[in-house]
Structure 1
Amino acid sequence: MKNLLFARLGALIDAVLRHRVWVLLGVVAITVLMGSLASRIEVKTVFGDLLPKNHPYVEVNNRFKATFGGSNMVSIMLEVEQGDVFQLPVLERTQAITKALQKVEGIDTYQIVSLASKKMKEVRASTDGIESRPLMWPGLPKDAAEIAVLREAVLNNPLVYGPYVSLDQKATLITADFVEGDVDYEKAYEQITAIAQANEGAGIHVRIVGEPILYGLVRHYLTETAVIFLATVGALVLLLLLITRTLHGTLLPLASGVVSAIWALGAAELMGFHLDPLVIVVAFLITAQAISNSVQLVSRFDDEIASGHSPDAVSAARAAIQNLFKPGLLAVVADAGCVLVVALTPIPMLEKIALIGTVWILSIIVSALTLTPVLLTWCGGSARRKLHPIDIGPLLRAVLSRCARQVTSRARHAVLGGAGVLFIASGLYAFNLKVGDANPGSPILWPDSTYNQDAAAINEKFQGSDRMFVVVAGKAEGALKEPEVLEGMERFQKYMEAQPEVGGSISFADILPAVNRVLREGNARYQELGTSSNQNGELAYMFVSGSDPGDMDRFADPQALNGAVTLFFRDHQGETLRTAIARVKAYIAQHPMEHAEFLLAGGLVGVLSAVNEVILSGQIEAIAFALLWLVACCMLTYRSTVAGMFFMVPVLLSNTITFSYMAWMDIGMNINTLPVVALGIGLGVDYSFYVVDGIREGLHRGETLEQAVASALLGSGKGVLITALTLITSVIIWSFSSLRLQADMGVLIALWLFISATSALVLMPAMVYVFRPAFVVGGKGHPIERSDVPGYAVPA
């Protein structure tokens, strides 16, 4: 059976190398076709793709976002250096920004709220009755007396003083929402930023935050991202050239990575997917896998040429792929499975990343395991020609020889003991890893970025720039007028405001007491709800009678059937969101209502809570399935249950160390980091496949275990060391990105590569030497397979 499998593999390799011209032309033709498709792929962020499917919070948000405000709200703050906001220049700019926002593409003109908007009203009593009229619309105050009237109206209006004018009166807020599905983040960022800049200056600072601004900023940095990506590739080329000193050692791995990328992006276009700029680092990580496999083949080819074991380039290429095909294919299949399990997390962006990533990784079978050997058949002469005199080969051999001595000496026990201690320590510290955002502001940007500084300033002056609405769903029309419901809303608001991160709240229950007070000539004793549904209905009618259609939308629908309690948050860290959701659920459980019920939860905080809940459950599930897939692949490949457990060691070690690093650096497990984590499971073991298979190959040749370990490290280990050095050094360039997420992911990739390479060069050989697993060293019932095929003829 074994010989039959090797014979079929040999026949396949024969066919590929014999018809290598046609194979090359076929790959080129498909690459050109996929390249034309890849050139049309869009690079953009779609916020809807970031939200879980069929999650109750998202369903509530989608159902009520047009009324109570969605997750694409933008907040603009005008802050004065001297005096307060009740100055004509400040009010003029507030009006100018309010009007200019109406022309921003995709904005919902009915959801623009500010001192200068028609929606911002006060309730007054006169001889004609109760009237509701705009605070500062359509015109501005004409003199100091009218400004004083405006100030008095604001200070006596709890819907304005606090939510839209800061308590110190030095800042005013403008909020605007977008029509869901019509948001072009780049245009929104450019247009709103231009409006802000036009109104900045003369002692007035304008600050802007919101998801459209954030993702527009990410799109704004796309040019920089492309430059960093090209710089990374350039550094990779230079490092390969420095280390390999050959043209084919430099260009073939690069060609492998480019072909894989083109095929994957072309497939993404065929599937109707787009490329999110935040996952470009993930793309580099997958491309690194193609480069890694190609480097292994090139290194083995060069060894075959240098040793004289193969008389020509075709024979050397055949020997390289014959010996490395199994570990290479195992690495590809294991990585593809680890990425595919990300699709189990029901978030569209993660599903798309999983599908594109799986195609990308599987394309390595062609781009590296097929194309590289084919191209190597024409590189016999170049393998001996060196492009520069700098030779770091002796240094690499010294490092690898030192690793071999460490593994085969008494130090091997120290290696295993140290790895065990590191695993336990990092595993315990990894429990500090936070699900969701780990810091205030956006983790996508650096803490000192303008966006995060603006967010901090707005949260300091106001109740909070991040919002969550909890729907109060009545069981019949007019339910919101019931005293039980309104009192329940009031109690709920006070209960939630006890959480420090909740800066304040607003609801239908805040409007009626203000109207009641006006009816009683402004007497604060009567600022309370009505005692019956009829009385509350009358108060609501008095407020609505002077309003325009839609003015009450952010509080309740026209039928008084559904209302919203809007909570303002000063940050959306994972712990903040989990605490808030837990408090809401506890209140609902303890305070049931007869006429209505609370529904969780809309707004940005609501949908982010849904994302965090899905990631918390999906992370454990994805890691569990990825590990299960890895064990299954190893068991099937080596026909040994021990093999599956054996190769889990570097995976678990790399994950605990990386998770502990994320916890130490306050990098949360969120929708942007999860794909890198899932791919890292496969990345943690790829190098080990090559080294362990190299040990098996040495034993095939009749070497002792000590000799086999040394030859594997000097052979396959050289490819591992070259790949690790080049990729780690080049990926560090991402740390210069203006996007913190890209910088963090670059460091994470470098860390994963380092742990993977160290495990492959030191830990795994030490484990083989100490434990001598049967699937490596052989045993009764488990004879070592021969790596060569008896009677195999090299193709002409």
Structure 2
Amino acid sequence: MSNPKHDKGEHYLTTPKAEPFLERVIFNNRAIILGLLALLTLFLGYNAIKIQPDASFERMIPLEHPYIVNMMDNRKDLENLGNFVRIAVEAKQGDIFNKEYMETLKQITDEVFYLNGVDRSGLKSLWTSNVRWVEVTEQGFQGGTVIPDNYDGSHQSLEQLRQNVLRSSEVGRLVSDNFKSTIVYAPLYEKNPETGEPLDYAEFSRQLEEKVRQKYEAQNPNVEIHIVGFAKKVGDLIEGIGSIAWFAGITIVLTTLLLFWYSRCIAGTLVPVVTSIIAVFWQLGTLRLLGYGLDPYSVLVPFLVFAIGISHGVQIVNAMAVEASKGFDAVTSARLAFRSLYIPGMLALISDAFGFLTLFFIQIDVIRDLAVAAGIGVAFVIITNLVLHVLIMSYIGITKRGVNHVQNRSSNKDRKWRVLSYFSHPGVAPISLLIAVIGLGLGVYYKQDLKVGDLDKGAPELRKDSQYNQDNAFIIDNYSTSADVMVVMVRTPKEQCTQYSVLRAMDALEWELQNTPGVQSTASLADVSKIVTKALNEGNWNWYAISRNQTIINASIRSAPSGLINTDCSLTPLLVFLEDHKAETLQTVVKRVEAFAQENNNDEHTFLLAAGNAGVEAATNEVISKAKDRMLMFVYGVVSLLCFVTFRSIRAVLCIVIPLGLTSVLCEAIMAVSGIGIKVATLPVIALGVGIGVDYGIYIYSKLEKYLIEGKTLQEAYFETLRSTGKAVVFTGVTLGIGVVTWIFSPIKFQADMGFLLFFMFLWNMVGAIWLLPALARFLLRPDRMVAKARAAE
């Protein structure tokens, strides 16, 4: 039974009916509940170890955005402009026109042809029959495959090959500008057309490394291979996930050591760690049962679930140690710890969950999957922290050494807590608020430079010196057509895509885009028509134009590549090759195309954005830009509402939420200064920082309110708050920060960015709760009204 005197000081935290009911249900059935939770752990743990990495091109794009809707609606007519890999085979010495190099290229082409997931009909290489050369002679057009029919590797056939390459349009596309490398272009199936199974990106990437890069670089020392494309990038990310196991181990070890230093109690150290790991296993097992895997973004959620479990477990250990130091036995200490913490604990965890669930505003499936995974994890932390943890500790209790440590800590740390209590002093509080206002002003000023989207070339998810980004840099430097392609879809009535008015409008848009910063080159059916018309007129540049004669136009596009015209001539793509996919580049091009479309769309032709990887990036950036502010408004609204329902005071809400708002502004300012854009990988951090960061304020305020209601002055009440829960809050902030700061060393760049930003937000939210909350309380709270309200409620 609990101590009556202690109950009197605690009963205001719960309603009279809810308190005994919850305690009786949990503590009067301890053995049964622990048995059921053990069975649940075995079942979900078995499923957790079977969960697999998962990635999908479609789940990483905003399927509901108009650009993506246009792309998906016309997907069958867009030849291989979505998911593909480009394999550049470089000759280290000499050029590509030698027998050994061409033999290696042939073998690589054959190897790629048989890889699972490759759309073999669209495979392109100098060795494939769909890569041809064309020239105009006195007899008319002549052409053939780039590889001569009689090719045998001799000097004569190699010279013929050189002539064919020069006569083709592949220089700068499949053949590098300096003739030292060529590309094997492999479009991919998102799902196997025979089995319907999704492409296994991890396995496909592994095959590219083993069967292509490693095999042929070892076989021919004069060859170096570079591979880029969405599938390879995702494969590298999944491979990087393997290193996360090391970070998980480091986090668990560091957390365990810090917990023991904090509690000096074996049970107080191991039980929070074990129950937090159990929450992670429950989460992973449930995700597998629901059909989810771990994609490169949601794989970080178990870290957060573990960290959240530890942060709340520390409060349980601290509260039990305090009660045990008063002479209570293990069961009573556990009951009293539960009674004092279950309302602020549940409030904090529900706030965490809503912080995650706000990510549903973002219409990208991987982010929504992250929200589901995190929401499930937090729901389980409520059980493992407030039920499983408490019940285990009710049997074990705090060791004598842990109790002595609490007693010694209380007597030795009073001086430091007394100093910190001056944050609520009438003379210090205004200074704190002034510093906060200055910080807010600086944050607002610097966050103006915050960009939405990628700010670096290559794959920003990976580090600049990663193999993928080195390969990407090679292709950008050596080919006229970059890996960043935006496709404008030109829709017309059937059999009308080759009309003069359509080609003339496309040519006009190309002219504007070619004079737009960030655009490398363009290609369309209009270019084919102009080139062929010139060729039909003895190569005279005066004829390099779109003819008004429809018969000439029809003749000029007769041999147009299949990718530039669909079967019923109702759609033709205009390809825009960009220098990079930085946010500014995409915004500039999108605005230019949208302005042109608004002025020129009519019944004859409609310009639609956008396909290609750059089109997907542009749509993603737009979705994130629109969702960011709405998401923040919702998360702050929900957190404020939950705090108001719990504490029944607008003033309490302001004390808790204002420090969070300052942290959010400063975080965005740091992102701007550090060159980190808001994107799929970093946007969740903002919501997570708010959802998890509110925990500190809730624990601090709940204790502060208690002591104010008891009649203490604000400074004295805050001093007692720091004595009882201050170290737990500080320890939680430091532990959470240390748990994620190790991510900075991850080979996955976005994990490093998330670690850096979460480290700042965890620590600064803790500082805000310790420093700014009492300063706000000095001006906002009315202790006399709080006491009167509490007495009236009794």
TM-score by length of 2: 0.91
Alignment equivalent of 1:740, drawn from 736, 744, 749: 749
Matching of residue 467 in structure 1 with residue 505 in structure 2: no
Alignment equivalent of 1:328, drawn from 312, 324, 345: 345
Matching of residue 107 in structure 1 with residue 118 in structure 2: yes
Q: Deviations over 1:78-124 (max 9, x none)?
A: 33444443344433333332222101110111222232221111223
Aligned equivalents of 1:72, 1:289: Cα separation in 2: 37
Q: What residue in structure 2 maps to residue 46 of structure 1?
A: 56
Q: What residue in structure 2 maps to residue 658 of structure 1?
A: 667
Is the CA contact 2:733–2:763 (under 8 Å) kept in the aligned structure 1?
yes
Note the C-alpha offset of 1:731: 2.3
Matching of residue 276 in structure 1 with residue 298 in structure 2: no
Q: CA 1:480–1:381 in structure 2 vs 1: closer, same or farther (change >3 Å)?
A: closer
Q: What residue in structure 1 maps to residue 202 of structure 2?
A: 186
Name the aligned partner's letter for residue 449 of structure 2.
N
Aligned equivalents of 1:493, 1:416: Cα separation in 2: 55
Alignment equivalent of 1:121, drawn from 124, 129, 132: 132
Aligned equivalents of 2:222, 2:295: Cα separation in 1: 38
Matching of residue 98 in structure 1 with residue 98 in structure 2: no
- What are the within-5 Å matches in structure 2 for residues 245-644 of structure 1? 245-308=264-327, 311-380=328-397, 382-384=399-401, 399-408=416-425, 410-462=427-479, 463-477=481-495, 479-541=496-558, 543=559, 552-592=561-601, 595-644=604-653
Note the C-alpha offset of 1:523: 4.3
Q: CA 1:741–1:85 in structure 2 vs 1: closer, same or farther (change >3 Å)?
A: same
Aligned equivalents of 1:711, 1:766: Cα separation in 2: 16
Aligned equivalents of 1:501, 1:395: Cα separation in 2: 63
Alignment equivalent of 1:773, drawn from 765, 781, 784: 781
Note the C-alpha offset of 1:737: 1.1
Greater mean alpha carbon deviation, residues 481-490 or residues 704-713:
481-490
Is the CA contact 2:483–2:577 (under 8 Å) kept in the aligned structure 1?
yes
Q: CA 1:4–1:750 in structure 2 vs 1: closer, same or farther (change >3 Å)?
A: closer
Greater mean alpha carbon deviation, residues 497-506 or residues 62-71:
62-71
Name the aligned partner's letter for residue 110 of structure 2.
K
Aligned equivalents of 2:243, 2:89: Cα separation in 1: 30
Q: CA 1:564–1:781 in structure 2 vs 1: closer, same or farther (change >3 Å)?
A: same
Aligned equivalents of 1:614, 1:412: Cα separation in 2: 41
SS in 2 for 1:470: strand
Greater mean alpha carbon deviation, residues 777-786 or residues 494-503:
777-786
Q: What residue in structure 2 maps to residue 792 of structure 1?
A: none
Name the aligned partner's letter for residue 254 of structure 2.
A
Name the aligned partner's letter for residue 234 of structure 1.
V
Note the C-alpha offset of 1:406: 4.0
Q: CA 1:418–1:714 in structure 2 vs 1: closer, same or farther (change >3 Å)?
A: same
Aligned equivalents of 2:626, 2:34: Cα separation in 1: 45
- What are the within-5 Å matches in structure 2 for residues 233-248 of structure 1? 233-248=252-267
Aligned equivalents of 1:84, 1:396: Cα separation in 2: 74
SS in 2 for 1:370: helix
Q: CA 1:425–1:381 in structure 2 vs 1: closer, same or farther (change >3 Å)?
A: closer
Note the C-alpha offset of 1:193: 2.2
Is the CA contact 1:676–1:745 (under 8 Å) kept in the aligned structure 2?
yes
Aligned length: 772
Q: What residue in structure 2 maps to residue 548 of structure 1?
A: none
Is the CA contact 2:48–2:285 (under 8 Å) kept in the aligned structure 1?
yes
- What are the within-5 Å matches in structure 2 for residues 693-772 of structure 1? 693-768=702-777, 770-772=778-780
Is the CA contact 2:485–2:612 (under 8 Å) kept in the aligned structure 1?
yes
Is the CA contact 1:466–1:572 (under 8 Å) kept in the aligned structure 2?
yes
Where does structure 1 lack aligned partners over 5 or more consecutive residues? 545-551, 790-796
Q: CA 1:615–1:686 in structure 2 vs 1: closer, same or farther (change >3 Å)?
A: same
Alignment equivalent of 1:230, drawn from 231, 249, 259: 249
Aligned equivalents of 2:698, 2:716: Cα separation in 1: 18
Name the aligned partner's letter for residue 260 of structure 1.
A
Alignment equivalent of 1:212, drawn from 224, 231, 240: 231
Name the aligned partner's letter for residue 461 of structure 1.
N
Is the CA contact 2:298–2:366 (under 8 Å) kept in the aligned structure 1?
no
Aligned equivalents of 1:725, 1:700: Cα separation in 2: 30
Name the aligned partner's letter for residue 343 of structure 1.
F
Q: CA 1:163–1:596 in structure 2 vs 1: closer, same or farther (change >3 Å)?
A: same
Note the C-alpha offset of 1:242: 2.2
Matching of residue 75 in structure 1 with residue 86 in structure 2: yes
Note the C-alpha offset of 1:152: 3.6
Q: Deviations over 1:142-188 (max 9, x none)?
A: 4444434433443344x312222233333333322101234221122
Is the CA contact 2:452–2:624 (under 8 Å) kept in the aligned structure 1?
yes
Greater mean alpha carbon deviation, residues 199-208 or residues 254-263:
199-208
Name the aligned partner's letter for residue 469 of structure 1.
V
Q: Deviations over 1:29-54 (max 9, x none)?
A: 22222223323322222221111132
Aligned equivalents of 1:128, 1:71: Cα separation in 2: 39
SS in 2 for 1:621: helix
Name the aligned partner's letter for residue 35 of structure 1.
G
Q: CA 1:692–1:385 in structure 2 vs 1: closer, same or farther (change >3 Å)?
A: closer
Alignment equivalent of 1:686, drawn from 684, 691, 695: 695
Is the CA contact 1:440–1:572 (under 8 Å) kept in the aligned structure 2?
yes
Name the aligned partner's letter for residue 35 of structure 2.
L
Aligned equivalents of 2:13, 2:59: Cα separation in 1: 49
Q: CA 1:227–1:396 in structure 2 vs 1: closer, same or farther (change >3 Å)?
A: farther
Q: What residue in structure 2 maps to residue 547 of structure 1?
A: none
Q: CA 1:413–1:59 in structure 2 vs 1: closer, same or farther (change >3 Å)?
A: same
SS in 1 for 2:15: helix
Is the CA contact 2:324–2:403 (under 8 Å) kept in the aligned structure 1?
no
Note the C-alpha offset of 1:214: 0.6
Q: Deviations over 1:662-701 (max 9, x none)?
A: 1122222111222222121112221111111111222344
Is the CA contact 2:263–2:402 (under 8 Å) kept in the aligned structure 1?
no
SS in 2 for 1:79: strand
Is the CA contact 1:83–1:170 (under 8 Å) kept in the aligned structure 2?
yes
Q: CA 1:709–1:148 in structure 2 vs 1: closer, same or farther (change >3 Å)?
A: same
Note the C-alpha offset of 1:364: 2.2
Aligned equivalents of 1:371, 1:491: Cα separation in 2: 69
Q: CA 1:735–1:321 in structure 2 vs 1: closer, same or farther (change >3 Å)?
A: same
Matching of residue 23 in structure 1 with residue 33 in structure 2: yes
Name the aligned partner's letter for residue 282 of structure 1.
V
Aligned equivalents of 2:405, 2:92: Cα separation in 1: 62
Q: CA 1:138–1:564 in structure 2 vs 1: closer, same or farther (change >3 Å)?
A: farther
Is the CA contact 1:489–1:509 (under 8 Å) kept in the aligned structure 2?
yes
Where does structure 2 lack aligned partners over 5 or more consecutive residues? 1-10, 192-197
Greater mean alpha carbon deviation, residues 706-715 or residues 278-287:
278-287
Q: State the superposition RMSD in angstroms.
A: 2.7
TM-score by length of 1: 0.91
Is the CA contact 2:525–2:572 (under 8 Å) kept in the aligned structure 1?
yes
Q: Deviations over 1:565-612 (max 9, x none)?
A: 111123212222222211111121233355322111111111121111
Aligned equivalents of 1:3, 1:750: Cα separation in 2: 32
**Identical positions, percent:** 27
Note the C-alpha offset of 1:493: 1.9
